[in-house]
Amino acid sequence: MEMKPKFKSTATLLSFILLTSASLTATAKEFKMSLGGGEGTAQHALATKFTESFEANTKDTIRIFPNSQLGSEQNTVNDASLGTLDFSVVAINNITPFSPTVGVYTLPYMITSLEEAEKLIQSDATDVLVENTVRDAGVRIVGWTFSGFRVLTNSKKPVKTLADLDGLVVRVPKNAIMIDTYNAWGINPTPMAWSELFTALQQKVVDGQDLALVDIESLKFYEIQKYISLIHYNFMLEPMIISESVYQDQSKDVQAAILAAGKAATIYSAEFLREKEAEALEKLKAHGMEVNEVDETEWIEKATTQVWPKYYDSVGGKDKINVVLKAIGREEI
C-alpha cells in the first residue's frame, strides 16, 4: 500500500513543496557555449539549432555567448580542454594546434564543394579525427558547421590573379597551413586573432582577409571592404566541441541528447548554407562590393605542390591524406 506523507500544517506542506522544487531545480544544469561569430553567422545558426534540439530532450539549458565574449577561439579550445568551458564552436584551424592531424581538412583545396564536406564528416576518416581530438586536446567534436569557402576581401584593389596580391597586407588566422598557403602565393600574411580583425581593417592595419560569404555579410564587412575575390582554397568546417571531462560527467541520456542534437544541427547547417550563401553574395553586391571571379589554376598548383608536402608528417602521412581523398571520391596522391 502506498504511504503518503502527512503534514501537520500548511506551513509544513509549503516547506516540503519548496524543498522538493529546489531539489529538482538543482539537478538541472546551464551549459555555456562560446562562439567566435555573431548572430546571423553559420556558427550561430548551428548553435541555435543544437540548443533547440538539446533542450527539447533534456531538462538542461544552454546559454550562448557569441562574438568571442568568452575569449578567442583557440583560448576556448584550451578552456574546454581544462573543463572550465562546456561548449565552443570554432574554425577547425583553431583545433589544429592542439590536435595536428585535424589539419588535413585545412590543406588548401582539400575540400572543393559542400557535397564533399558533407561526405567527409560522415566518413570513417572523420571518426578517427574525432577520436584524435579527444586523445590530443581533451575535447570531443559533436557537430559540424558548414560555413562555406573563405573568399578574399580587401579595401585596395580588385584581385583576379596571383600577381594582384602584390602589395596587399592580408590577415590570416594564427594557423601555419594558412600562412604557408599565402607564402606559396607570393605574399607574407599577417597572423591575427579573430577578435582583433574588424578594428584592424577599420584602421588599415591590414588591407584584407578571407572569410565565408555569409559571415562577411552578417558581420557587415562591406562597411570596411570593397573587393571580393571568389577563391576556394579553404572550405570552412567549424566544429562544435564539448569538454571531454564535461561530456563524461553527464548521464548516458544526456550524452545521447548531445550527440543527437549535434547530428540534427549538422544537417541543418548544410541546409542553412545552401539557402544563405547565394543570398549573402547578392546582398554584398547591393552594398557596393565588387565581386571578381578568379582562374585558380596557378593558385591550386602552387598551394598543393608547395604546402601539402610540408604537412604530410603532421597530419599522419600521405596514407591519411589518401583516406580523406578516397572518402570524398577524389584521386589519391
pLDDT value for 140: 98
Please give the backbone phi and psi of residue 328, each rounded to the nearest 5 degrees, phi first: -105, 10
- The answer to whether the CB of 213 falls within 8 A of the CB of 148 is yes
pLDDT value for 194: 87
How far is CA 54 from each of CA 7, 60, 75, 260, 261, rounded to the nearest angstrom?
38, 8, 25, 8, 5
In this prediction, residue 123 has a pLDDT band, given cuts at 50, 70 and 90, of: very high
How far is CA 4 from each of CA 1, 7, 23, rounded to the nearest angstrom?
10, 10, 19
Mean pLDDT of 71-86: 96
Decide: helix, strand or coil at residue 291. strand
pLDDT tens per residue, range 129-142: 999 999 999 999 99
Cell 561569430 locates to 37
Task: State how beta strands 139-149 and 190-191 pair.
Answer: unpaired
pLDDT tens per residue, range 216-257: 999 999 999 999 999 999 999 999 999 999 999 999 999 999
pLDDT tens per residue, range 3-62: 455 555 555 555 555 555 544 445 899 999 999 999 999 999 999 999 999 999 999 999
pLDDT value for 195: 86
- Say yes or no to pLDDT of 108 above 60: yes
In this prediction, residue 2 has a pLDDT band, given cuts at 50, 70 and 90, of: very low
pLDDT value for 27: 80
Mean pLDDT of 134-154: 98
Helix 114-121 × helix 252-286 angle, to 10° = 170
pLDDT value for 188: 96
For domain 30-327, give the CATH superfamily: Bacterial extracellular solute-binding protein, family 7 (3.40.190.170)
175: DSSP letter: -
pLDDT tens per residue, range 281-291: 999 999 999 99
The domain spans of the chain are 30-327
Please give the backbone phi and psi of residue 246, each rounded to the nearest 5 degrees, phi first: -65, -45
In this prediction, residue 193 has a pLDDT band, given cuts at 50, 70 and 90, of: confident
- Mean pLDDT estimate for the chain: 93
Please give the backbone phi and psi of residue 140, each rounded to the nearest 5 degrees, phi first: -120, 130
